[in-house]
């Protein structure tokens, strides 16, 4: 564990919000409209509440082994061999996440900003631009997250402002018209929009004021939940449920339809997309850092810098694997979702359980 | 190394003359004092560095006048004679006994006078530094409308005095070190002992100690030697010509360096927040100061973005603008034979040359450059249809905006970024600009200044401590009752809360 790296709990909050909110923010309304209909916001709140026990679980792992980072804890609990497998799974999750996020970014940039530029070029430039910060330590990444934090809030705020003129809040009604099965499915779907939480694994051991971790984390989760809820409600109010079900990125449509009379800029979608690039960057940076870090631990090297550079072609290759956008949305996402459940919930739970038992036995 | 003053004056003089051979600016003045047993003494000093008036009035004259001293008891000659010289011979205020030649030469070359006496194996250094000084003038690079008008000069002692006058506190320390093997430049490390973070102070001292260079001609060289990342475009140390800025920084718990022969003091750590502050902010009403600070942040974006946006919008996204604006833009560009990137890059570069020419030349020729640059290049180029009207406006805007940033180095860094942004916008449009923002933002976040994140207080230290009220805006003095937190001061309270009138 590196003693020079220090993070304040505020940075932890920034890291949570910025790494969770990324590509998902644009598709949340559609994801939910499909399953939960106009009651999607209930799923968001439930999923948000489910993140809190997850946060407590993460924190508990580090409480068991104070002063150790996740790699040392993993080795101490599961042993070298099993933890290597865990690391490989975690690494594949991170790398697939990166590919999905970056490919989605590339596709949307191509649609909204650069129709004639090849997708390959957009993807590779973004990977290279993100690799710069990923070669540094988690405190720098967390600082960047904190930098983007107000931008994310401003981004959500602008979307709300844009949606207000055409909003019809009657669309939200009627409420509570879903079956229990729908709720499970909807909550399950939206759960993946909260992926990114696991990145605090790299950050928690370095937080200076440990007693604030939970408080700060809960505030971060609440911020995300509120942003998602508000964006869902605004898009629902702007489009009807029917329209919402048929648009993959209703938020972008919402911006595109905007026409403010007498306003300096007419088509705000380009500018909003540009702002969104930064939001996505703040998701990619910690993922990329994590992938490099895990790889460097697998190969037992001190610095993860060279792995970050070596990963540039790997991420590019996986991101370009799906032949088209549709395939990306279904196939690669599917792989991602499975790996996400394993790495975010199951593996930490395993470490926690084995760790707790070991501690008990030792006593 | 190791040569000591011997008790034979002839030998001493021989050695000194050997060392200072071919240095024709050295003055030797030999005297004989005493009534019967005459004792030979010699003064050695550098012409121009040592004040001749002081040495003739307070040392030579008094010695000649009181030359009726009678030394009989040779057993106790050394003590008696030294006592006599120090008590009656020399009336200067600064006198010390030195017998090591290394130190002696060091002192002579700094403007002190050496007194050697026959039969005595120690030299006397008389404080006679006094050379032609530049008077204290108003700082040229940081003028204020309201506020003190004194600026640093090239003499270290004058500069430390200017600061001492603002901090009458025994806790204010001025540590002297020497940097440069040959130049032996004096550097003063200044800090307030019970405010400064000892870790930062240690780091400053350590880095100064590690320097091994033959000469330090200006504080800027020292700045590049001690800063964290010399490959960065951003300055990680603040420099100022204003003693009040230095004093204010010291009161905030930062460390300042003054380098001899340089009118610019260095302040560390520096962050993006402190580089955007001007001393005048503290001498104007908080409302205006806050407004100006927000304008400065706008100026940062105005330096980097307009020409890049021009390129991106004309080349890739004309649809972003309302129709009427597109027509206007298209009409103004209709005769322009170049792509937008070439046009923007060319105009910005020409502006840069005009600016550089104007900086080096002052007076009547300087204004000619302004006229030629402004009229010929601006007006004529537009009339000839080589560049569009809008481009000229943008170039003027970015140039003016770069002057609104208080730190010249920061403005210079942002100007360089502007070119990178133009290129990125030329390749990838608005997306390219955002990639530029990502890279620039990453770089700012990565940088450190003496262990303090450069991005403070926006993303590093000091957010929790409430530093934003003295960086983003400037709160009223009553509200700034705590020192900023980014420099981690030992003592944060600077004012009793709720001061009553």
pLDDT digits (tens, 9 = 90+) for B210-238: 999 999 999 999 999 999 999 999 999 99
Among B212, B240, B270, residue at a domain's last position: B270
Chain centre to alpha carbon of residue B224? 12
Residue listed under structure tokens 């700094």: B110
B459–A146 C-beta distance less than 8 A: yes
Tell which of A129, A219, A268, A275 to mutate to test the B interface (max B CBs under 10 Å): A129
Does B191 lie in the same domain as B92? no
The 3 state secondary structure assigned to chain A is CCCCCCECHHHHHHHHHHHHCCCHHHHHHHHHHHHHHHHHHHHHHHHHHHHHHHHHHHHHHHHHCCCCCHHHHHHHHHHHHHHHHHHHHHHHHHHHHHHHHHHHHHHHHHHHCCCCCCHHHHHHHHHHHHHHHHCCCHHHHHHHHHHHHHHHHHHHHHHHHHHCCCCCHHHHCCCCCCCHHHHHHHHHHHHHHHCCHHHHHHHHHHECCHHHHHHHHHHHHHHHHHHHHHHHHHHHHHCCHHHHHCCCCHHHHHHHHCCCCCCCCCCHHHHHHHHHHHHHHHHHHHHHHHHHHHHHHHCCCCCCHHHHHHHHHHHHHHHCCCCCHHHHHHHHHHHHHHHHHHHHHHHHHHHHHHHHHHHHHHC
Tell which of A145, A274, A276 to mutate to test the B interface (max B CBs under 10 Å): A274
Domain that holds residue B252: 156-270
Tell which of B445, B456, B460 to mutate to test the A interface (max A CBs under 10 Å): B445
Q: What mean pLDDT is predicted for residues B142-157?
A: 90
Tokens of A260: 């403010």
B364 vs A: CB within 8 A: no
Q: What mean pLDDT is predicted for residues A109-137?
A: 92
Does B38 lie in the same domain as B73? yes
CA angle A173, A177, A181 (to 5 degrees): 145
Determine the residue of chain B that is closest to A256 in CA distance. B320
Reported as a pLDDT band with limits 50, 70 and 90, residue B76 is low
DSSP conformational letter for B62:
H
Is the pLDDT at A27 greater than 90? The verdict is no
Reported as a pLDDT band with limits 50, 70 and 90, residue B66 is low
Reported as a pLDDT band with limits 50, 70 and 90, residue B500 is low
In order of start, what are the domains of chain A with their CATH numbers? Answer: 9-356 (1.20.1740.10)
Chain A, residues 11-30, CB within 8 A of chain B, namely: 14
Nearest to B431 among A109, A132, A136 (CB): A109
B443 vs A: CB within 8 A: yes
For residues A58 and B252, what is the distance between their CA atoms, to the nearest angstrom?
39
Classify each residue of B87-122 as buried b or exposed e, where b means 16 or more C-beta atoms within 10 Å of its C-beta: eebbebeebeebeebeebbebbebbbbbbbbbebeb
Percent of chain B clearing pLDDT 90 (strictly above): 43
A143–B460 C-beta distance less than 8 A: yes
Backbone angles phi and psi of B125, in degrees to 5: -100, 125
Q: Give the per-residue pLDDT at B405.
A: 92
For residues A196 and A311, what is the distance between their CA atoms, to the nearest angstrom?
19
A129 vs B: CB within 8 A: yes
B24, B47 contact by CB (below 8 A): no
Which residues of chain B lie closer than 8 angstroms to A133, CB-CB? 442, 445-446
Closest CA to B422 of B272, B314, B297: B314
A265–B455 C-beta distance less than 8 A: no
Determine the residue of chain B that is closest to A142 in CA distance. B459
Domain annotation covers residue B95: yes
For residues B238 and B199, what is the distance between their CA atoms, to the nearest angstrom?
19
B316–A114 C-beta distance less than 8 A: yes
Least confident residue range of A25-29, B257-261, B342-346: A25-29
Reported as a pLDDT band with limits 50, 70 and 90, residue B247 is very high
For residues A271 and B432, what is the distance between their CA atoms, to the nearest angstrom?
13
A48, A194 contact by CB (below 8 A): yes
The C-alpha of B382 sits at a distance from chain A's nearest C-alpha, in angstroms, of 25
A321 vs B: CB within 8 A: no
What is the CB neighbour count within 10 angstroms for residue A281? 28
Domain annotation covers residue B412: yes
B393 vs A: CB within 8 A: no
Which residues of chain B lie closer than 8 angstroms to A136, CB-CB? 446
For residues B447 and B460, what is the distance between their CA atoms, to the nearest angstrom?
10
Chain centre to alpha carbon of residue B287? 30
Q: Give the per-residue pLDDT at B58.
A: 83
Does B173 lie in the same domain as B309? no
Kindly give the interhelix angle for B364-371 and B340-360, rounded to the nearest 10 degrees. 170
Tokens of B497: 């809360």
Q: Give the per-residue pLDDT at B414.
A: 94
The C-alpha of A160 sits at a distance from chain B's nearest C-alpha, in angstroms, of 20
Q: Give the per-residue pLDDT at B69.
A: 59
CA atoms within 13 A on the CB side of A131: 20
Q: Give the per-residue pLDDT at A362.
A: 81
The C-alpha of B460 sits at a distance from chain A's nearest C-alpha, in angstroms, of 6
Determine the residue of chain B that is closest to A14 in CA distance. B459
Domain annotation covers residue B459: no
Q: What mean pLDDT is predicted for residues A263-280?
A: 79
Q: How does strand B95-98 pair with strand B255-259?
A: unpaired
Is the pLDDT at B243 greater than 90? The verdict is yes
Residues near B362 by Cβ (< 8 Å), separated by ≥ 6? none
A117 vs B: CB within 8 A: yes
Domain annotation covers residue B38: yes
Nearest to B446 among A10, A140, A277 (CB): A140
Does B175 lie in the same domain as B261? yes
A289 vs B: CB within 8 A: no
Backbone angles phi and psi of A220, in degrees to 5: -60, -45
Is the pLDDT at A268 greater than 70? The verdict is yes
For residues B234 and B411, what is the distance between their CA atoms, to the nearest angstrom?
9
Which residues of chain A lie closer than 8 angstroms to B437, CB-CB? 278
Chain centre to alpha carbon of residue A242? 27
The C-alpha of B108 sits at a distance from chain A's nearest C-alpha, in angstroms, of 46
Residue listed under structure tokens 């404080």: B127
pTM: 0.91
Give bridge partners of residue B190 from the DSSP assignment: B174, B256
Which residues of chain A lie closer than 8 angstroms to B319, CB-CB? 266-267, 270
A129–B439 C-beta distance less than 8 A: yes
Nearest to B455 among A126, A143, A285 (CB): A143
B280, B236 contact by CB (below 8 A): no
A267–B320 C-beta distance less than 8 A: yes
Backbone angles phi and psi of B218, in degrees to 5: -150, 160
Chain A, residues 147-166, CB within 8 A of chain B, namely: 147
3-state secondary structure of B43: strand
Q: Give the per-residue pLDDT at B312.
A: 93
Domain annotation covers residue B303: yes
Number of domains in chain B: 3
Q: Give the per-residue pLDDT at B130.
A: 81
Is the pLDDT at B499 greater than 60? The verdict is no
Backbone angles phi and psi of B458, in degrees to 5: -75, -40
Chain A, residues 255-284, CB within 8 A of chain B, namely: 263-267, 270-271, 273-275, 277-278, 281
Q: Give the per-residue pLDDT at B442.
A: 94
Tokens of B436: 């530029």
Domain annotation covers residue B149: no
B445 vs A: CB within 8 A: yes
The C-alpha of A355 sits at a distance from chain B's nearest C-alpha, in angstroms, of 34
Does B365 lie in the same domain as B298? yes
Among B245, B270, B295, residue at a domain's last position: B270
For residues A202 and B415, what is the distance between their CA atoms, to the nearest angstrom?
36
For B208, the enclosing helix (H) or strand (E) is: helix B198-210
Does B440 lie in the same domain as B300? yes
Domain annotation covers residue B277: no
Determine the residue of chain A that is closest to B321 in CA distance. A265
Does B235 lie in the same domain as B117? no
CA dist A268 → A253, A263, B246, B321 (Å) = 11, 10, 46, 9
Does B179 lie in the same domain as B107? no
A296, A307 contact by CB (below 8 A): yes
DSSP state string for B360-414:
H--THHHHHHHHIIIIIIIIIHHHHTSS-HHHHHHHHHHHHHHHTSS-HHHHHHH
Q: What mean pLDDT is predicted for residues A266-282?
A: 84
Give bridge partners of residue A186 from the DSSP assignment: none
Q: Is B147 left (phi over 0), alpha (psi -120 to 50) or beta?
A: left
Mean pLDDT of chain B: 87
Q: Report long-range pairs for B452-456 (Cβ below 8 Å, ≥24 apart).
A: B452/B200, B452/B269, B452/B271, B452/B486, B452/B487, B452/B488, B453/A143, B453/B271, B453/B486, B454/B234, B454/B236, B454/B270, B454/B271, B454/B272, B455/A143, B455/A147, B455/B271, B455/B272, B456/B271, B456/B272, B456/B273, B456/B486
CA dist A194 → A100, A202, A335, A340, B3 (Å) = 15, 17, 16, 10, 75
Is the pLDDT at B284 greater than 70? The verdict is yes
For residues B261 and B219, what is the distance between their CA atoms, to the nearest angstrom?
8
B323–A144 C-beta distance less than 8 A: no
Does B178 lie in the same domain as B222? yes
A133 vs B: CB within 8 A: yes
Reported as a pLDDT band with limits 50, 70 and 90, residue A40 is confident
DSSP conformational letter for B482:
B
A136–B446 C-beta distance less than 8 A: yes
Does B350 lie in the same domain as B298? yes
Report the helix count and the strand count for chain B, using DSSP H and E.
17, 12
Is the pLDDT at B285 greater than 70? The verdict is yes
Domain annotation covers residue B70: yes
Does B250 lie in the same domain as B225? yes
Is the pLDDT at B240 greater than 90? The verdict is yes
Q: What mean pLDDT is predicted for residues B101-124?
A: 87
Q: Give the per-residue pLDDT at A95.
A: 94
Most confident range, picked from A331-340, B100-109, B261-270, B365-374: B261-270
Does B255 lie in the same domain as B187? yes
Residue spans of alpha helices (H) in B252-388: 272-275, 286-315, 323-332, 340-360, 364-371, 381-384
CA dist B143 → B147, B266, B401 (Å) = 9, 18, 17
Give bridge partners of residue B95 from the DSSP assignment: B126
Reported as a pLDDT band with limits 50, 70 and 90, residue A331 is confident
Which residues of chain B lie closer than 8 angstroms to A274, CB-CB? 430-431, 433-434
Chain B, residues 102-131, CB within 8 A of chain A, namely: none
Among B107, B126, B145, residue at a domain's last position: B126
Percent of chain B clearing pLDDT 70 (strictly above): 96
Q: Give the per-residue pLDDT at B226.
A: 93
Chain centre to alpha carbon of residue B226? 13
């Amino acid at each position: 564990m590196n003693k020079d790296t220090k993070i304040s709990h505020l940075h932890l909050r920034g890291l949570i919000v910025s790494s969770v909110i990324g590509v998902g923010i644009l598709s949340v309304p559609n994801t939910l409209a499909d399953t939960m209909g106009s009651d999607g916001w209930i799923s968001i709140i439930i999923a948000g509440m489910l993140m809190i026990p997850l946060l407590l679980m993460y924190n508990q792992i580090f409480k068991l082994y104070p002063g150790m980072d996740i790699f040392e804890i993993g080795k101490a609990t599961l042993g070298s061999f099993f933890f290597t497998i865990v690391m490989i799974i975690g690494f594949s999750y991170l790398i697939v996440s990166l590919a999905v996020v970056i490919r989605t970014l590339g596709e949307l940039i191509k649609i909204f900003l650069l129709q004639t530029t090849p997708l390959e070029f957009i993807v590779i430039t973004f990977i290279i631009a993100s690799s710069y910060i990923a070669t540094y330590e988690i405190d720098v990444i967390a600082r960047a997250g904190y930098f983007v934090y107000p931008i994310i809030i401003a981004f959500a705020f602008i979307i709300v402002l844009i949606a207000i003129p055409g909003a019809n809040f009657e669309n939200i009604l009627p409420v509570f018209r879903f079956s229990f099965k729908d709720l499970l499915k909807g909550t399950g779907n939206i759960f993946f929009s909260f992926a990114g939480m696991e990145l605090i694994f790299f950050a928690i051991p370095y937080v200076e004021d440990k007693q604030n971790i939970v408080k700060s984390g809960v505030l971060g989760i609440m911020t995300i939940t509120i942003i998602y809820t508000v964006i869902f409600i605004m898009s629902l109010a702007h489009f009807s449920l029917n329209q919402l079900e048929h648009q993959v990125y209703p938020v972008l449509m919402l911006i595109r339809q905007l026409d403010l009379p007498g306003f300096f800029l007419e088509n705000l979608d380009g500018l909003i997309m540009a702002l969104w690039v930064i939001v996505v960057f703040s998701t990619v940076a910690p993922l990329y850092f994590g992938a490099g870090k895990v790889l460097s631990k697998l190969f037992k090297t001190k610095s993860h810098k060279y792995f970050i550079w070596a990963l540039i072609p790997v991420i590019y290759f996986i991101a370009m694997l799906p032949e088209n956008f549709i395939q990306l949305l279904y196939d690669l996402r599917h792989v991602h979702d499975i790996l996400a459940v394993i790495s975010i919930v199951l593996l930490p739970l395993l470490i926690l359980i084995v760790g707790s038992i070991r501690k008990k036995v030792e006593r | 190394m190791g040569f000591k003053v011997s008790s034979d004056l002839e030998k001493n003089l021989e050695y000194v003359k050997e060392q200072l051979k071919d240095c024709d600016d050295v003055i030797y003045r030999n005297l004989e004092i005493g009534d019967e047993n005459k004792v030979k003494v010699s003064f050695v000093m550098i012409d121009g560095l040592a004040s001749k008036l002081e040495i003739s009035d307070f040392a030579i004259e008094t010695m000649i006048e009181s030359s009726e001293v009678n030394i009989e008891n040779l057993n106790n000659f050394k003590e008696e004679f030294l006592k006599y010289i120090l008590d009656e011979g020399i009336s200067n205020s600064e006198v010390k006994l030195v017998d090591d030649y290394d130190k002696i030469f060091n002192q002579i070359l700094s403007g002190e006078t050496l007194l050697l006496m026959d039969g005595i194996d120690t030299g006397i250094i008389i404080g006679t530094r006094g050379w032609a000084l530049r008077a204290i003038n108003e700082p040229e690079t940081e003028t204020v409308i309201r506020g003190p008008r004194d600026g640093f000069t090239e003499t270290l002692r004058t500069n430390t005095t200017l600061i001492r006058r603002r901090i009458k506190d025994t806790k204010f320390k001025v540590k002297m070190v020497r940097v440069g093997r040959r130049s032996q430049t004096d550097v003063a490390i200044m800090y307030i002992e019970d405010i400064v973070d000892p870790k930062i102070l240690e780091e400053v001292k350590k880095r100064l100690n590690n320097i091994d260079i033959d000469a330090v001609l200006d504080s800027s060289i020292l700045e590049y030697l001690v800063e964290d990342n010399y490959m960065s475009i951003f300055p990680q140390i603040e420099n100022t010509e204003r003693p009040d800025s230095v004093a204010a920084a010291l009161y905030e718990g930062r460390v300042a360096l003054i380098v001899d022969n340089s009118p610019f003091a260095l302040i560390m750590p520096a962050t993006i927040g402190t580089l955007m502050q001007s001393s005048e902010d503290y001498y104007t009403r908080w409302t205006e100061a806050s407004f100006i600070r927000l304008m400065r942040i706008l100026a940062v974006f105005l330096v980097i973005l307009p020409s890049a946006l021009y390129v991106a919008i004309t080349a890739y996204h004309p649809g972003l603008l309302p129709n009427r604006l597109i027509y206007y833009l298209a009409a103004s560009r209709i005769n322009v034979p170049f792509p937008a990137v070439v046009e923007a890059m060319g105009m910005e570069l020409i502006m840069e040359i005009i600016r550089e020419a104007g900086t080096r030349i002052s007076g009547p020729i300087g204004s000619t450059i302004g006229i030629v640059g402004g009229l010929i290049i601006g007006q004529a180029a537009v009339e000839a249809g080589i560049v569009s009207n809008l481009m000229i406006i943008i170039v003027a805007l970015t140039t003016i905006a770069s002057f609104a940033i208080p730190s010249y180095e920061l403005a210079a860094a942002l100007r360089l970024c502007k070119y990178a942004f133009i290129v990125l916008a030329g390749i990838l449009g608005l997306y390219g600009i955002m990639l530029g923002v990502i890279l620039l933002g990453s770089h700012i976040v990565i940088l450190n200044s003496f262990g303090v994140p450069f991005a403070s207080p926006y993303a590093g230290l000091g957010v929790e401590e409430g530093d934003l009220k003295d960086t983003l805006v400037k709160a009223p003095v009553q509200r700034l009752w705590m020192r900023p937190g980014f420099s981690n001061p030992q003592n944060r309270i600077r004012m009793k809360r709720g001061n009553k009138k």
